[in-house]
Chain A
Amino acid sequence: DSGVTQTPKHLITATGQRVTLRCSPRSGDLSVYWYQQSLDQGLQFLIQYYNGEERAKGNILERFSAQQFPDLHSELNLSSLELGDSALYFCASRGPYNSPLHFGNGTRLTVT
């Protein structure tokens, strides 16, 4: 168990809808990362937050947004969903400088 908690485990929704994925980092970790794993794109970095502030952006669509709250949990919001957004979304957190990333179990999103 990595200590990173993601909910829900599975999500099935229709095109055009909006969903929110939730992540609780490991105790004490200030950084939260979101990654997307899809069949065609593989594992891709989406966005990083550190102590409530956005730190880095990767290949994140404009329809997607994220935030990190004062209690350090993070939410990834996906809107105007398309079939191609179906993927496994991972959250990861890390400890002090130079620590490796530890990933949660992921949320599997299916858009129908």
Chain B
Amino acid sequence: AQKVTQAQTEISVVEKEDVTLDCVYETRDTTYYLFWYKQPPSGELVFLIRRNSFDEQNEISGRYSWNFQKSTSSFNFTITASQVVDSAVYFCALSEEDNTDKLIFGTGTRLQVFP
């Protein structure tokens, strides 16, 4: 069965600290997609990144970076030099090739960045 685990329920940091959000997934498929979404206090879900299972290259986008490791079934998300505006709930999600439209979400990690 497919499953996404975000073991960290809540993380608090002070501005400018680096923070890593963990995501571990389970799937039997060899082809799948992994996602991160951000849900700020206003409630909307904002797409951050998608990776397919054949692309294990790490990705960096500004202060955001993602580390995909198939060997440990993990897709971790790091925010460098965190800012108060990064405060949100972050969701990791998985979809499988035969149904790329159905996202299976983790339970989310609430990140609070204090000034």
Contact = CB atoms under 8 A, between A and B. Distances in A.
B is bound to A: yes
Interface of A: 2, 31, 33, 35, 42-45, 48, 55-56, 58, 88, 90, 92, 94, 98, 100-106, 108
Given A104-B44, A105-B44, A108-B43, A55 B105 contact: no
Contacts of A94: 101
A18 B43 CA distance: 24
Given A2-B47, A42-B106, A102-B47, 15 more contacts: A31-B101, A43-B91, A43-B93, A43-B105, A43-B108, A45-B102, A48-B101, A56-B99, A88-B43, A90-B45, A92-B45, A101-B101, A103-B44, A105-B42, A106-B45
Interface of B: 35, 37, 42-47, 50, 91, 93, 99-108
B100 A106 contact: no
A99 B69 CA distance: 23
Given A98-B100, A103-B37, A42 B43 contact: no
A96 to B, nearest CB: 12
A14 B20 CA distance: 42
A2 B101 contact: no
Contact of A33 (B43, B101, B108): B101
- Majority DSSP secondary structure for residues of A touching B: strand
User: What secondary structure prevails in chain B residues at the interface with A?
Assistant: strand
A3 B35 CA distance: 19
A23 to B, nearest CB: 13
Contacts of A104: 44
Q: Which of B45, B93, B106 has the most CB of A within 10 A?
A: B45
A60 B115 CA distance: 42
B5 to A, nearest CB: 12
A44 B59 CA distance: 27
B107 A100 contact: no
Tell which of B35, B105, B106 has the most Cβ of chain A within 10 Å: B105
Nearest to B49: A100
A75 to B, nearest CB: 19
Nearest to B42: A105
Contact of B35 (A31, A45, A100): A100
